[in-house]
Amino acid sequence: MSVTAFKDLPLTDRDRKWDGDAAEKRVRKWADAEDQPNEKYRDAHVWYDGDNKDNFTAYKLLIADVIDGKLTAVPRGIMAAGAIMQGSRGGVDLPDKDIERVKSHLAKYYAKMDETAPWERD
């Protein structure tokens, strides 16, 4: 099990709508990963199951989309992942040992948005 390395992706406008399904399709095409995931595809996600990295279902918490040909973090995607993680696991099944690292990864993007991650708020 693995938390992806923080890539410090550029952020798009905060008001940009988030459509995870459409972003997934664009990321696959951009990464040339339409048949199987690869490292470029992985960079759009916060977590993946390293034991099953050749399966698309192993990738969780998509936070990026392809905008003008570049992989870009989308604030609403980050917030959606943050909402899932606020309740520790929420709607995603992650190993206990990875939860704090996932939150740390997401918190870096919240900081880029000049915000505090939901689990760090009073």
Average pLDDT over the chain, rounded to an integer: 93
Q: Where are the alpha helices (DSSP H) in the chain?
A: 20-30, 39-42, 75-86, 96-112
At 64-114, the pLDDT tens digits run 999 999 999 999 999 999 988 886 445 688 898 999 999 999 999 999 999
* Helix, strand, coil fractions of the chain, as percent rounded to 5: 45, 15, 40
Residues 6, 63 contacting (CB under 8 angstroms): no
Question: What tokens were used for 75?
Answer: 């604030």
Q: 10 Å Cβ neighbour count for 43?
A: 17
**Per-residue pLDDT, 93:** 82
Residues 35, 90 contacting (CB under 8 angstroms): no
**Average pLDDT in the 20-48 region?**
97
* pLDDT above 90 (res 17): yes
